Amino acid sequence: MKTCIAGILALFVLIFMNACAVPRIDWTKEDQRFKLGEKYEGVYVFNKQLLDEMLKREKEREEYRENYFKQEDDEKEKFLRTIYTEKDIKKIKESHIVSSEMEEFSRKYDKTHPYLIDEKYPTILSNGCKYFNKTLNVYAYHDEFKTFIDKVKKYLGVSDEDFEILWSSFSVESYYQCGKERIPLTFQIYPYDKTYIYLDIYSLGGDEGAGFYFDKTEFPLIYKGSKDDIYIYYFIDGKFVKSNKKVKYWKRLTLNEIN
């Protein structure tokens, strides 16, 4: 009798644990979200002329930055060889030790070779506005970008219901600022990645003699996802036009990719 009661209780526990393990996912909505993402995912360019200006300047800044620090490293290497042996230099590099001599060298180098990237290559567009090549989450700046969001909705021509699902994946990838107003240059609709969800399946094992126990098995549910490559869309004559150019969704745009 006790064994029977124990078995019944164990069965109830098993049912409860399995119920708790089932992920609460609206698969219909997720499937709709995926289909919309697959259809509209991409990089959307509002103003190609200004984007070209920004990417050209970013390339100039990157080249200046690389050349500056390469020159500094070369000069530092020469300086090290005037006071240390090759063996000591190797130890310094491996341990990342900064000696007082190196600190003095850095101070003198900074004075004689000032880092003038903002003076030589300012982040200003031809319209006189400062640009920013960084991501802004549309959720966090919803009120500020409300006009922008409404325009995107109109340009894409999606229903209210579909847009409500879609716009949560928006992000502004670059913009310029005139006064207090931020104006997007590019925004991106991110693809929906493959998602792995593990469902815990519990089973009752053992016998009366050895005792009962629960076995847990992880059962993977794989939800489909999008590819890395997404298209670039250009705003032409009041609507976004899909180009034949593709970029990696997780990388920043470069000048070569859009031309």
Report the relative pairing of strands 136-137 and 195-207 from DSSP bridges.
unpaired
Higher pLDDT, 98 or 100: 100
Of the candidates 44, 39, 38, 42, the residue with the CA atom closest to the CA atom of residue 226: 38
Tell me the sheet residues that pair with 176.
131, 183
Encode pLDDT of 181-233 as tens digits: 899 999 888 766 545 444 555 555 555 555 555 555 554 444 444 456 888 99
Sequence length of the chain is: 259
Per-residue pLDDT band for 86 (boundaries 50, 70, 90) equals: confident
Q: Does the pLDDT of residue 21 top 70, yes or no?
A: no
pLDDT score recorded for residue 224: 46
pLDDT band of residue 61 (cuts 50, 70, 90) is very high
Residue whose entry in the numeric block shows the structure tokens 């990645």: 193
Q: What is the pLDDT of residue 143?
A: 81
In the chain, the amino acid numbered 25 is: I
- Please state, as a whole number, how many other Cβ atoms lie within 10 Å of the Cβ of residue 73: 10
3-state SS, one letter per residue, for the chain:
CHHHHHHHHHHHHHHHHHHHHCCCCCHHHHHHHHHHHHHHCEEEECCHHHHHHHHHHHHHHHHHHHHHHHHHHHHHHHHHHHHCCHHHHHHHHHHCCCCHHHHHHHHHHHHHCCCCHHHHCCCECCCCCEEECCCEECCCCCCCCHHHHHHHHHHHCCCHHHHHHHHHHEEEEEEEEECCEEEEEEEEECCCCCEEEEEEEEEEEEECCCEEEEEEEEEEEEECCCCCEEEEEEEECCEEEEEEEEEECCCCCCHHHHC
Which pLDDT band, with edges at 50, 70 and 90, does 65 fall under?
Answer: very high
Domain range list for the chain: 41-52+123-191+226-258
Overall average pLDDT of the 21-33 stretch: 59
Share of the chain above pLDDT 70, in %: 70
* Cα-based angle 44, 46, 49 (whole degrees, multiple of 5): 120
Q: What is the pLDDT of residue 204?
A: 55
Rounded Cα distance between 176 and 194, Å, is 33
139 pLDDT tier (thresholds 50, 70, 90): confident
